């Protein structure tokens, strides 16, 4: 069942031409979305790229997350929120380049330091991907080149690259259409 779910996610990424980026838990590894963590220092140590996501983990009885404009961020005002989150485990996608501003909307918390500015850079194409072999056309930026050698399949058998229809790169997991799933170099037939 997990394989089919991964297939759906990877296929959707290929259709929309996007790849999954990194997931950044706000304040990690030494803190979280709380009053003790220096969120500005945390954010300055990370390079955020379009396609990444932020994860805010906190006690929902004590805090929340409010996305605000720069002016409201500077004023610690949550009166005109762009978005509000309050689950205690909020996932916020960063789909495009630009600056995003988040505060805790509980009175006094932003003034006490519960605010973070995230500068998101444009997604960079991977320089580690080899060019596609001659005669093969990439369908979108998410498509990775076909393997050039025999790849081990489940049960130790090899699958020749000519039997693979297309390859989609999604993070460190490659999805091979045509009933073959590869994860970290292991091929699994389903």
Cβ(49)–Cβ(121) below 8 Å: yes
Q: Taking the complete model, does pTM exceed 0.75, yes or no?
A: no
Cβ(111)–Cβ(72) below 8 Å: no
Q: Distances in Å between the alpha carbon of 119 and those of 133, 134, 147, 175, 182?
A: 36, 38, 35, 31, 33
Helix (H), strand (E) at residue 142: none
**What is the distance between the alpha carbons of residues 172 and 121, in angstroms, rounded to a whole number?**
21
Cβ(63)–Cβ(106) below 8 Å: yes
**Residue 154 binned pLDDT confidence (cut-offs 50, 70, 90):** very low
- What are the structural domain ranges in the chain? 2-13+139-189, 22-121
Cβ(88)–Cβ(58) below 8 Å: yes
23-60 confidence digits (pLDDT tens): 999 999 999 999 999 999 999 999 999 999 999 999 99
CATH 3.40.50.620 fits 22-121, yes or no: no
3-state SS, residue 4:
helix
Pairing outcome for strands 52-57 and 23-25: parallel
Residue 64: per-residue pLDDT: 98
Helix (H), strand (E) at residue 91: strand 89-94
């Amino acid at each position: 069942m997990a394989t089919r779910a991964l297939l759906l996610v990877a296929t959707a990424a290929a259709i929309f031409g996007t790849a999954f980026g990194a997931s950044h838990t706000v304040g990690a590894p030494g803190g979280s979305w709380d009053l003790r963590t220096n969120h500005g220092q945390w954010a300055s140590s990370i390079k955020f790229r379009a396609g990444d996501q932020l994860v805010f983990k906190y006690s929902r009885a004590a805090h929340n997350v409010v996305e605000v404009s720069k002016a409201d961020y500077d004023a610690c005002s949550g009166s005109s929120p762009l978005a509000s989150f309050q689950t205690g485990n909020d996932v916020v996608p960063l789909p495009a380049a630009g600056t995003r501003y988040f505060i805790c909307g509980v009175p006094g918390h932003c003034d006490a330091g519960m605010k973070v500015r995230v500068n998101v850079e444009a997604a960079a194409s991977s320089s580690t991907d080899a060019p596609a072999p001659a005669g093969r056309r990439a369908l979108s930026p998410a498509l990775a080149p076909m393997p050039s050698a025999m790849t081990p399949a489940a049960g130790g058998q090899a699958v020749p690259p000519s039997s693979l229809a297309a390859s989609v790169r999604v993070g460190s997991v490659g999805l091979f259409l045509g009933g073959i799933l590869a994860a970290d170099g292991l091929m699994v037939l389903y």
